[in-house]
Homo-oligomer: A and B are copies of this chain.
Amino acid sequence: MSDNTVFVGNKPVMNYVLAVVTQFNQGAEEVSVKARGKAISRAVDTTEIAMNRFLENVTKSEIITSTEIVDTESGKTNVSSIEITLSKI
């Protein structure tokens, strides 16, 4: 796992875009954007907006989808997750 990880949740997408851009501006070579469940769409939005509007010389180096097992009040449940890694070229 990258040290520079942005977990995408239910806040407005620009919050996460700003977090990603800030990490690159602070010198990160690589930033991972992670999300689970319904936030997966917002994670894709985050990387698309960050790359199209704010970042230059950054590419999507890896996209992984997986299933995580999460404990809830009503027992264990499966939830899909995504990890999109952005890297400086």
Interface residues of A (CB under 8 A from B): 37-41, 44-45, 47-48, 52, 60, 63-67, 78, 80-82, 84
State A16–B19 Cα separation when bound (angstroms).
34
State A67–B80 Cα separation when bound (angstroms).
22
State A45–B77 Cα separation when bound (angstroms).
13
Cross-chain pairs A/B with CB under 8 angstroms, 27 sampled: A37-B41, A38-B38, A38-B41, A39-B41, A40-B40, A40-B41, A40-B44, A41-B41, A41-B80, A44-B65, A44-B80, A44-B81, A44-B82, A45-B80, A47-B65, A48-B65, A48-B66, A48-B67, A48-B78, A48-B80, A52-B67, A52-B78, A60-B65, A63-B63, A63-B64, A63-B65, A65-B84
